[in-house]
Chains A and B, each alone.
Chain A
Amino acid sequence: MKKKLLSIGLVAALLVSAFAAGCGKKNTDGDDKKTDGKVKEIRFMDVTPNPAREQAFQELIKDFNDKNPDVKVVYESTPWDQSHNKLVTLGSAGSLPDVFIMHQQWNAEFTSAEWVTPLDDYIADWKDADKIIPYVKNVLMEYDQKNVYGYTFGIPDGLTTAAMFVRTDWLEEAGLTTEDLETWEGIFEASKKLTIPEKNQYGFAFRGARMGSEQMGMYMLAELGGKLYEEDGTCRINSPEGIEAFKKYCALYKDGYAPQDAINWGYTEMVQGFTSGLSGILNQTSEVVATCEDSMEDGTWTTIPFPRASDGNIYSKADSYYMAMSNQSKNKDEAWRFIEFMLEPENNRKLSEACLFIPVMEGAENDPRFTEGGMKGFVDSMNDPTFIREPFYGYFPELGEFMETFYDAEVQKYLLGQQTAEESIKNISDYLTTAQQKYMQESPDTPIPTSVRTDGSEVK
């Protein structure tokens, strides 16, 4: 009898707990989620939220919802560190948001998993399509997407490129001007002159971790004329020029123009290094302008265009997040209407201003919000006639592993003196050659990663 009671008790307790859990649900479901059949709900997810950006999105979404009573866009966000994980989970569970912000690093994954919708038909009827600025249209949409994957899946929403943040007051003290920093050679020289260890002052904000090697790679590729692979897929960095460039860049750290700790620096630390007055030169993208404005005195810093390689060209990169539409969306037409709305030139400028991007639609060329102050160095880089966009390391599936676990470690081993420059470069080069050649056999139609000019022409 007692045992019966006990087991009844157990069942009751289980029920209670299930009920308690059920209550939790009721509380959270909210009231405005009710869709009365006609209003279609569009879920939109941002993957790199910050307060200014979220506010801009929320305002634009409210505007859209007011103008489109039959659609209701719901804003969601995931912190950047977890966003890749989250989207992959959502994707494999078949419940991606209708529209989401996507990073170009995920192109290969998301297309081969077929999580993104081809947008070419929509673009054909898009009234603003001719207002997209040439670089975005030619390079980011045509070259990077259609050329490689056969269709367009992401509409860039704001351009960001690299420039050098410099401490003007330090330059002055050292008897330098920003013109001395026009070339990489000038950057190396200035880093030396700006370094005063007694004052705890270092020339260059070196990034040694969390894909810091990518920054080293930008210089190395520049000195290779932007050419990463031979026609047969052999990586070109294992050459005298490649090794020399590698050594030269790493000397910034090895010779003490950056603090010893910099081997562990990622994005946030190198930015902090610059804003706190530890480093004098910082290679960063335009989003950082806001951080500098917040914590540095006016007149002590500026941005200058990305430095030229020894052949006189600016080899750099300029990417954008994409607005992508999920292939799992049930309301694709409504989702497209939302994307279209977000890219109306005026709305795009609004978002770009909040996020410190260069707008992707024409009409911002004479807008002081995007051409003056901290943004100047970036716009000037992009507008330079010699601007060349460097190639990706590849489209092969091992790319994530290479970038996240291999590249940095090999470079760090040289920085620490655990192996020679030649060994590090050989390991990196061999890895890339193997992966690229294997990929070329499996997908012979995909082009070899190549540098491109603003008009979309390849640098051969």
Chain B
Amino acid sequence: MSKYKTKRRLLLIGRILILAFFLFIVCLPIYWMLITSLKTTADINTLDIQYWPANPTFQNYENVLQQSNFIYYLKNSVVVSVVTGIIVLFVAITGGYGLSRYKYRGKGVTMLGFLVTQMIPMTLILVPMFLIFHSVNLGDTLTSLIILYVVINVPFCVITMQGFFANIPIAVEEAASIDGCSKFQVITKIVLPIMLPGIIAVFVFAFIGAWNDLLGGVMFINSELNKTLPVGLSSYVGQFSINWGEMCAGGMLALIPSALLFVMVQKYIVEGMTSGAVKG
């Protein structure tokens, strides 16, 4: 019995160590950005490395919030990322289901086709899309960005979703069909709840994909008030100098929505099986 106890204690310590290790490597760069955002320009540009700001200041945050269109950037990014996430999710669920549950001719080719699109040089996608958007009067709009991000993220997400569907034994569905459920009911009532962690993960994937993109934002958006966060933040990187203080302050502020998202969704990702809908 005591042997069992020691083993458990060892496991616990191991787990704590692992968790601490991840916290450390994740936090080191973020901590660096955080303290940079609280430093004055002179304290940033010094060889005397400060691990805590010598003259802590919120000036950078004030500048970001007051002198730039940060609030607009934030709003645009949230709108674009959420809408992208929802649309991609819908396409990925249908596509992923179709790919994982049916055998039909051309399936392998379809999947390969999805993957091949990932190798087209980005510029070759951007230019024709740019032309299309201009001809239908969508130039310089958030809509154009949403469409771009949906297009870019769909192949990844469909295939990922297909992987999640494939994790679930087909027997689950068959059992439900025998019980008299329609296909639609099987999917919405049985399969999707089990899939919830995967669904959330794919949503997060598409959301983050849209949230982080710089190139599309730079190319498709012209007016100041339509810019997204990465585009706004990249303007702190000048030709001759980087405005580290304000860039880090903006970066920290931009983290808040994603951090909230992660905290919100983590519950669903880890609690997928509790619904008890499945019995093998």
Consider the complex of A and B and state whether they touch directly, i.e. have CB atoms less than 8 Å apart: yes
Residues of chain A having any CB pair with chain B under 8 Å: 2-3, 5-6, 10, 13, 17, 20-22, 24-25, 27-30, 43, 45, 48-51, 74-82, 85-86, 89-90, 92-95, 97, 200, 267-268, 271-272, 275-278, 284-285, 287-288, 291, 294-295
- Among B139, B223, B240, find the residue whose CB has the most chain A CB atoms closer than 10 A: B240
Nearest 8 pairs of A and B residues by beta carbon: A24-B142, A295-B45, A80-B239, A82-B218, A25-B143, A17-B87, A21-B143, A79-B234
Known interface pairs A25-B142, A93-B130, A95-B139; A291-B241 also in contact (CB < 8 Å) = yes
Least distance between B213 CB and chain A CB atoms (Å)? 12
Known interface pairs A24-B83, A30-B225, A86-B218; A271-B235 also in contact (CB < 8 Å) = no
Cβ–Cβ < 8 Å partners of A50 in chain B: 238
Instruction: Give the residue of A5, A95, A291 whose beta carbon is less than 8 angstroms from that of B184.
Output: A5
Cβ–Cβ < 8 Å partners of B237 in chain A: 79-81
Cβ–Cβ < 8 Å partners of B86 in chain A: 17, 20
- Taking a contact as CB atoms under 8 Å apart, the answer to whether B94 and A10 are in contact is yes
- Taking a contact as CB atoms under 8 Å apart, the answer to whether B184 and A6 are in contact is yes
12 contacting pairs across A/B (C-beta < 8 A) = A5-B184, A17-B86, A17-B87, A24-B83, A79-B237, A81-B234, A85-B123, A89-B123, A89-B219, A267-B240, A267-B241, A271-B240
Cβ–Cβ < 8 Å partners of A81 in chain B: 234, 237
Q: How far is the CA of A276 from the CA of B234 in the complex (A)?
A: 23
Please tell me if B224 contacts chain A, counting CB pairs below 8 Å.
yes
- Taking a contact as CB atoms under 8 Å apart, the answer to whether A85 and B218 are in contact is yes
Instruction: Give the residue of A13, A21, A80 whose beta carbon is less than 8 angstroms from that of B146.
Output: A21
- Taking a contact as CB atoms under 8 Å apart, the answer to whether A76 and B138 are in contact is no
Least distance between B59 CB and chain A CB atoms (Å)? 13
- Taking a contact as CB atoms under 8 Å apart, the answer to whether A275 and B45 are in contact is yes
Cβ–Cβ < 8 Å partners of B44 in chain A: 295
Cβ–Cβ < 8 Å partners of A275 in chain B: 45
Cβ–Cβ < 8 Å partners of A272 in chain B: 45, 241
Least distance between B141 CB and chain A CB atoms (Å)? 5
Least distance between B268 CB and chain A CB atoms (Å)? 21
Cβ–Cβ < 8 Å partners of B126 in chain A: 89
Please tell me if B67 contacts chain A, counting CB pairs below 8 Å.
yes
- Taking a contact as CB atoms under 8 Å apart, the answer to whether B224 and A75 are in contact is yes
- Taking a contact as CB atoms under 8 Å apart, the answer to whether B47 and A48 are in contact is no
Least distance between A140 CB and chain B CB atoms (Å)? 19
- Taking a contact as CB atoms under 8 Å apart, the answer to whether B142 and A2 are in contact is no
Please tell me if B107 contacts chain A, counting CB pairs below 8 Å.
no
Determine the interface band of chain B, counting residues with CB < 8 A from chain A: 35 or more
Of residues 87 through 132 on chain B, the ones whose CB sits less than 8 Å from some CB of chain A are 87, 90, 94, 123, 126-127, 130-131
- Taking a contact as CB atoms under 8 Å apart, the answer to whether A287 and B218 are in contact is no
- Taking a contact as CB atoms under 8 Å apart, the answer to whether A51 and B67 are in contact is yes
Known: A51-B67, A200-B47, A295-B45. 20 other contacts (CB 8 A): A6-B184, A20-B83, A21-B83, A22-B143, A24-B79, A24-B83, A24-B141, A25-B138, A29-B141, A49-B235, A79-B218, A79-B231, A80-B239, A82-B234, A85-B123, A85-B215, A271-B240, A272-B241, A275-B45, A294-B41
Residues of chain B having any CB pair with chain A under 8 Å: 41-42, 44-47, 67, 76, 79-80, 83, 86-87, 90, 94, 123, 126-127, 130-131, 134, 138-139, 141-143, 146-147, 182-184, 214-215, 218-219, 222-226, 231, 234-235, 237-242
Q: How far is the CA of A291 from the CA of B134 in the complex (A)?
A: 40
Chain B contact residues, majority secondary structure: helix
Cβ–Cβ < 8 Å partners of B94 in chain A: 10
Residue in B closest to A21 when the chains form the complex, CB atoms = B143
Residue in A closest to B128 when the chains form the complex, CB atoms = A93
Cβ–Cβ < 8 Å partners of B67 in chain A: 51
Least distance between B205 CB and chain A CB atoms (Å)? 18
Cβ–Cβ < 8 Å partners of B47 in chain A: 200, 276-278
- Taking a contact as CB atoms under 8 Å apart, the answer to whether A277 and B46 are in contact is yes
- Taking a contact as CB atoms under 8 Å apart, the answer to whether B238 and A93 are in contact is no
Instruction: Give the residue of B182, B183, B214, B226 whose beta carbon is less than 8 angstroms from that of A28.
Output: B226
Q: How far is the CA of A48 from the CA of B231 in the complex (A)?
A: 14
Cβ–Cβ < 8 Å partners of B218 in chain A: 78-79, 82, 85-86
Instruction: Give the residue of B131, B143, B223, B242 whose beta carbon is less than 8 angstroms from that of A76.
Output: B223
Q: How far is the CA of A27 from the CA of B146 in the complex (A)?
A: 14
- Taking a contact as CB atoms under 8 Å apart, the answer to whether B127 and A92 are in contact is yes
- Taking a contact as CB atoms under 8 Å apart, the answer to whether A295 and B141 are in contact is no
- Taking a contact as CB atoms under 8 Å apart, the answer to whether A82 and B215 are in contact is yes
- Taking a contact as CB atoms under 8 Å apart, the answer to whether B238 and A48 are in contact is yes
Q: How far is the CA of A84 from the CA of B265 in the complex (A)?
A: 39
Q: How far is the CA of A276 from the CA of B225 in the complex (A)?
A: 35
Instruction: Give the residue of A5, A29, A43, A77 whose beta carbon is less than 8 angstroms from that of B235.
Output: A77
Cβ–Cβ < 8 Å partners of B46 in chain A: 276-277
Cβ–Cβ < 8 Å partners of A13 in chain B: 90
- Among A10, A21, A277, A294, find the residue whose CB has the most chain B CB atoms closer than 10 A: A21
Cβ–Cβ < 8 Å partners of B226 in chain A: 28
- Taking a contact as CB atoms under 8 Å apart, the answer to whether B222 and A76 are in contact is yes
- Taking a contact as CB atoms under 8 Å apart, the answer to whether B235 and A79 are in contact is yes
Instruction: Give the residue of B42, B134, B146, B241 whose beta carbon is less than 8 angstroms from that of A271.
Output: B241
Least distance between A297 CB and chain B CB atoms (Å)? 9
- Among A93, A95, A288, find the residue whose CB has the most chain B CB atoms closer than 10 A: A93
Cβ–Cβ < 8 Å partners of A48 in chain B: 238-239
Known interface pairs A27-B142, A78-B218, A278-B47; A3-B183 also in contact (CB < 8 Å) = yes
Residue in B closest to A82 when the chains form the complex, CB atoms = B218
Least distance between B57 CB and chain A CB atoms (Å)? 14
- Taking a contact as CB atoms under 8 Å apart, the answer to whether A89 and B239 are in contact is no
Q: How far is the CA of A287 from the CA of B240 in the complex (A)?
A: 8
- Taking a contact as CB atoms under 8 Å apart, the answer to whether A76 and B142 are in contact is no
Cβ–Cβ < 8 Å partners of A28 in chain B: 76, 141-143, 225-226
Instruction: Give the residue of A27, A74, A80, A276 whose beta carbon is less than 8 angstroms from that of B45.
Output: A276
- Taking a contact as CB atoms under 8 Å apart, the answer to whether A93 and B223 are in contact is no
Cβ–Cβ < 8 Å partners of B42 in chain A: 294-295
- Taking a contact as CB atoms under 8 Å apart, the answer to whether A24 and B146 are in contact is yes
Q: How far is the CA of A6 from the CA of B239 in the complex (A)?
A: 54
Q: How far is the CA of A48 from the CA of B235 in the complex (A)?
A: 9
